[in-house]
Structure 1
């Protein structure tokens, strides 16, 4: 975490895939809250090291391997606090934002992508319900019909399509992703900060409360579906890098 010229930089540093758990999300939330209270920070850029922006939760290790239900509950409670941040946030999304990583990207106000960026809501291909508040954020960004398509198919969305459907806001030239995000951040930082926060709060309305309600429902559905054979197959296939075979069981 660093602040320069009114811009706070938050960076995930678990390359190459930047998988998260409740501890990483907790540190991210705490850092965002600290930037929120820093009068020198007028806009936040969320970025990451490595090949991919964020590949979501790692189901093969840590708390998720021991107890998915408890780990997800803790993660969602912490993740919900990200929506309480009052400072505008731009996500610089390279490589892939998949599953919960897509949810993290959609928690930002804006997303900058490259042509090679891939956004993936792969939950149906893992055999369980979407999470990280995507039930609220994804339809708000792309509309219900497109959100339903992305969730039910789990298909990959490239950078150009992402901009066309509203999932990403700006398309950077290859190799200039972070530079593009920082340039945009400077234009926001140059505006009157009190007015920016006020307008943003009006436009967001009760988003944090709606996300919290959605997270409760998402987790309840995940708990049910994690007990199915399809979910066991989907997660195993993902870890083994093979195509899952679902039987509706």
Structure 2
């Protein structure tokens, strides 16, 4: 095992490209350790690249249009930050449900998003978050998460709530009652119109072994139902969810969607 401390995010990205599959960005390390055969013994073939010593990745600030959250920010620090609570309250709510306090004090937002299955992923995807990369390029988070080799992310850009009224957004997390067990499903739903239950235009979901993605077939169904003023059935919604979720998760997701859209009464 090797651990390197590059001088800049740009140097870290260049090193990762050079090393290929052997490279692994590391910050808090809370997720990485779960994949090791021995929690205190890192894989010998891995070359870890430390990304936690640059101040620019550990800041939260406002620009004229966006809330900027550094990818190196600790999860608990993000949850408690006044700007996050003001402009992205559902993100703060999701973070409050994420792991134990010790995990939130070590883990970073970039690590949770880079994993692709974390609690923050559906929320940021539903919010149409943007990502700042090391080459100063800014692109949609949805585009970044589709890459097989994910680049180093510097910060996440979320819409400011005081620039335009934020659309209604909810986060749901479903799991077993056991004290320490992974969640079965994480979902975020966003509406375009607070007065119209069927105006859902973003549904994002993540599950163990299944990366975060939008349930576009379900979005299309609800958009069609909203335009035609018809009520889709629970079976209709479950069928669309099954296009990207296994049946048992599609059943859970469809009931969550139907419940939030007022279709279970």
Give the structure with the larger strand fraction: 2
Q: Which has the higher contact order (CA 8 A, sep 6+)?
A: 1
TM over 0.5: no
TM-score scaled to structure 2, two decimals?
0.25
Structure showing greater Rg: 2
Give the structure with the larger helix fraction: 1
TM-score scaled to structure 1, two decimals?
0.26
